[in-house]
C-alpha cells in the first residue's frame, strides 16, 4: 500500500516510517504575506443536537452551503508541468488555505490559477508555506466579495460522525463526497520537505472518497463547518500504473490543531511548532511496537528539562497512547510551543511520569 498526497500530479508517495523528531525544516513566507492586517480566524462553537445548515442537515444541504467557499487550484511550474488541487476560502478578498504540496512547485517561478464556484478564475500568489504541517496560504488577485468558509472545532469530532469532503479530484471541480469519521489522531506521514523529512500529523481518518486533486479542500461536518483539510490517502496501487484512487482511507489535517499556524502564515510570520528535542525509534517487544524509544536527548531541550534519558520509552503524552515513532511526532505536533504535557515513560521496567514544557522550533518564540 502507498500513502499519497492527494494533489493531482503534485503530491508524491511517502513512506510511513519516520525515525527522528528533528528540528523542523525552515518554513517560508513571501513578501505578499506581510502587507496589511488580517482578521483572525475564529472557530465556531459546535452545534448541540443535530447539526443542520439546511432543512435536513444532509450532504445536499452542506454542499449548497460550502461549495461557494471551495476553489480549484491549478499549478504550472517553470517547465509547463504541474497539477491541480483544492482550497478553502479564508477571506472575502481572496486568501485561500490549501496544502503545501499543492503549490510548492510554483515557488520557483510557476503560475497558480484559482477557479471559483461561479466559473470565474483569478491568478494567485503564495502568501506563506509550511512543510511541517503541509499547509499553505495563497492570495487570489483582484477579487472581492468572496464567501469565506466557516471554521469548526475538530477537537469536538467523534468517531462515527458524518462528514463531507469537497474538492476537485482529478480536476473535476465541485465534487462532493460523504462518509464518516473513521478514526481520530491517526499518525500519518505524507510528502516531505527539501531535506527529505516526512510531514507527520495527527490526522482525521475518513471513508469519504478522497482522490488526487482533493488535497487542500475542506472536510466539513453536517453544520457546514470546516473541521479538516484533506491531505492524503492510502491506496492499494503499486504506483507502476499511475496514481491510485480512494479505497476509503482518507486523511485530513485537523483544523483546530493548526489554526495558530494558519494565522502565522496569513500574517507573514515564520510558523512555529512544538518540539521535544529528542531522537526516537520504534520500541519493539515480542514483535509489536510498544512505544517510542528515546535514542538521544538534546542538551537544553524540553526533553532534557523534563528528565528524559536515552533508553527511555515514551508510552503516553497526556492521555494519548503512543505506540510508535510517528505517534509521538504527530502528537507533539498537535501542541503549541510553551504548552506543558505529561509524559508517561518506561525506564528499566519502571513506569514514570514527568512534565515537559515544549520548545519552539523558531528561536525566540515559545508561544
The Cα-based distances of 256 to 125, 195, 227, 228, 322 in angstroms read: 25, 27, 7, 8, 21
Cα atoms found within 13 Å of the Cα of residue 267, Cβ hemisphere only: 13
Residue spans of alpha helices (H) in the chain: 59-66, 100-103, 255-266, 302-306, 325-333
Q: Annotated catalytic residue: which of 215, 232, 246, 360?
A: 215
Question: In the block, which residue shows the cell 491549478?
Answer: 74
In the residue annotation, 215 being an active-site residue is answered as yes
Q: Which of 28, 101, 154, 168 is catalytic?
A: 101
Residue 353, SS3? strand
* Rounded Cα distance, 82 and 162, in Å: 33
Question: How long a stretch of residues is the chain?
Answer: 367
Residues 38 and 267: beta-carbon distance below 8 Å: yes
The alpha carbon torsion through 137, 142, 146, 152 (nearest 10 deg) reads 10
CA separation for the pair 128, 32 (Å, rounded): 8
The answer to whether residue 101 is catalytic is yes
Contact 358, 332 (CB under 8 A): yes
DSSP state of 367: -
What whole-number distance in Å separates Cα of residue 261 and Cα of residue 133? 8
The residue to which cell 502507498 is assigned: 2
Closest CA to 102 of 216, 16, 186: 216
DSSP 21: -
CA–CA distances in Å: residue 86 to residues 97, 138, 142, 173: 9, 12, 19, 8
- Residue partners of 246: CB distance under 8 A and separation at least 6: 209, 210, 211, 233, 235
3-state secondary structure of 3: strand
Residue 97 grid cell: 488555505
CA quadruple 269, 279, 313, 202: dihedral sign: positive
Catalytic option among 27, 86, 91, 134? 134
| Active site positions, annotated | 101, 134, 215
Amino acid at each position: 500500500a502507498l500513502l499519497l498526497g492527494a494533489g493531482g500530479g503534485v503530491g508524491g508517495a511517502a513512506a510511513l516510517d519516520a525515525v527522528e523528531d528533528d528540528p523542523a525544516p525552515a518554513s517560508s513566507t513571501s513578501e505578499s504575506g506581510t502587507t496589511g492586517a488580517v482578521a483572525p480566524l475564529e472557530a465556531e462553537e459546535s452545534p448541540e443536537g443535530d447539526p443542520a445548515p439546511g432543512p435536513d442537515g444532509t450532504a445536499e444541504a452542506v454542499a449548497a452551503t460550502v461549495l461557494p467557499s471551495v476553489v480549484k487550484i491549478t499549478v504550472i511550474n517553470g517547465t509547463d508541468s504541474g497539477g491541480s488541487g483544492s482550497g478553502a476560502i479564508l477571506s472575502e478578498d481572496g486568501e485561500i488555505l490549501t496544502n503545501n504540496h499543492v503549490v510548492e512547485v510554483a515557488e520557483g517561478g510557476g503560475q497558480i490559477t484559482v477557479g471559483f464556484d461561479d466559473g470565474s478564475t483569478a491568478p494567485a500568489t503564495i502568501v506563506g508555506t509550511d512543510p511541517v504541517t503541509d499547509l499553505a496560504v495563497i492570495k487570489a488577485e483582484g477579487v472581492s466579495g468572496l464567501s469565506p468558509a466557516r471554521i469548526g472545532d475538530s477537537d469536538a469530532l467523534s468517531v462515527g460522525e458524518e462528514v463531507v469532503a469537497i474538492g476537485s479530484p482529478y480536476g473535476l471541480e465541485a465534487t462532493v463526497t460523504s462518509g464518516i469519521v473513521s478514526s481520530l489522531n491517526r499518525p500519518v506521514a505524507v510528502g516531505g520537505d527539501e531535506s527529505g523529512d516526512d510531514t507527520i500529523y495527527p490526522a482525521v481518518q475518513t471513508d469519504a472518497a478522497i482522490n488526487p486533486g482533493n488535497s487542500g479542500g475542506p472536510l466539513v461536518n453536517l453544520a457546514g463547518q470546516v473541521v479538516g483539510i484533506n491531505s492524503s490517502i492510502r491506496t492499494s496501487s503499486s504506483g507502476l500504473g499511475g496514481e491510485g484512487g480512494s479505497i476509503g482511507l482518507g486523511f485530513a489535517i485537523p483544523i483546530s490543531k493548526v489554526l495558530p499556524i494558519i494565522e502565522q502564515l496569513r500574517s507573514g510570520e515564520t510558523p512555529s511548532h512544538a518540539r521535544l528535542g529528542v531522537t526516537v525509534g520504534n520500541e519493539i517487544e515480542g514483535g509489536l511496537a510498544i512505544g517510542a524509544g528515546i535514542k538521544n536527548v538534546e542538551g537544553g531541550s524540553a526533553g532534557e528539562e523534563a528528565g528524559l534519558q536515552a533508553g527511555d520509552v515514551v508510552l503516553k503524552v497526556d492521555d494519548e497512547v503512543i505506540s510508535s515513532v510517528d505517534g509521538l511526532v504527530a502528537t507533539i505536533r498537535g501542541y503549541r510551543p510553551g504548552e506543558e504535557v505529561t509524559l508517561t515513560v518506561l525506564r528499566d521496567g519502571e513506569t514514570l511520569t514527568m512534565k515537559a514544557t515544549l520548545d519552539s522550533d523558531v528561536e525566540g518564540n515559545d508561544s
